[in-house]
Amino acid sequence: MFSMVTGFQNYSQRAIRAARYTGQGFVVTLDHLNRLPMTIQYPYEKPIPSERFRGRIHFEFDKCIACEVCVRVCPINSPVVDWELKKSIRKKRLKSYSIDFGVCIFCGNCVEYCPTNCLSMTEEYELSTYDRHESNYDQIASGRLPLSVSQDSTIQTVPSSSYLSKGVMEGHPNSRNATHAAD
Ligand code: SF4
Ligand code: SF4
């Protein structure tokens, strides 16, 4: 008899605990129902990168003095600087310059230490390719001016802060509208 009562007590305690956990789960679910979506409808919507975003590096051939500081400060020696010595003027002449964005970690060291400021980080982040060799940008590819998300009229832009700020809770209105439209 005593063991039956103990067994019933244990069963009741476990049932109460399970109900409490279920209730807690529902509270979390209800809390999320009240939030805006965190996702955006890429590629129809794109976030506007922040001012200090570290995207594809822009290179200015004419400014480069082939000092190779960028190579020395790069943690993976990514930039390849090809130059020749012009003995008549006792100066290096840059022949070619390339950065492999397939291995670059966008740390910004090369940009930071370049003495002539011929490197700068852009807001370009769509660098995926089908062939990894295409990620190796020569001076022509890296000298191309960056595409600005905000100037592309075919897509809807989403300020990055609007879906990340405020405790990462509120989402952004654009994606809610898009989701509702899809419904
Ligand atoms: S640090 Fe700047 S100037 Fe020197 S080789 Fe690199 S890109 Fe050219
Ligand atoms: S951003 Fe960093 S990893 Fe990429 S090339 Fe410059 S120094 Fe190297």
**pLDDT range class, residue 168, cuts 50, 70, 90:** very low
What pLDDT is stored for residue 173 in this prediction? 52
> In this predicted structure, which of 2-11, 44-53, 164-173 has the lowest mean pLDDT?
164-173
pLDDT > 70? residue 91: yes
Look at phi and psi of residue 72 and say left if phi exceeds 0, alpha if psi is from -120 to 50, else beta.
Answer: alpha
The answer to whether domain 57-145 has CATH 3.30.70.3270 is yes
> In this predicted structure, which of 61-70, 71-80, 120-129, 151-160 has the lowest mean pLDDT?
151-160
The pTM for the full model equals: 0.71
What pLDDT is stored for residue 160 in this prediction? 61
Atom of ligand 1 nearest to the CA of 66: 5
Cα(61) to centroid of ligand 1, in Å?
9
Are residues 119 and 111 in contact, defined by beta-carbon separation less than 8 angstroms?
yes
Cα 148 to Cα 123: distance, rounded to the nearest angstrom:
7
Rounded to whole angstroms, what are the CA distances from 22 to 8, 17, 30, 31? 21, 9, 12, 14
Rounded to whole angstroms, what are the CA distances from 171 to 32, 34, 39, 54, 182? 11, 11, 8, 23, 17
* Cα end-to-end span (Å), the chain: 59
What pLDDT is stored for residue 33 in this prediction? 82
Q: Is the minimum distance from the CB of 114 to ligand 2 under 6 angstroms?
A: no
In this structure, the residue with its CA closest to atom 8 of ligand 2 is 74
Rounded average pLDDT over 71-86: 94
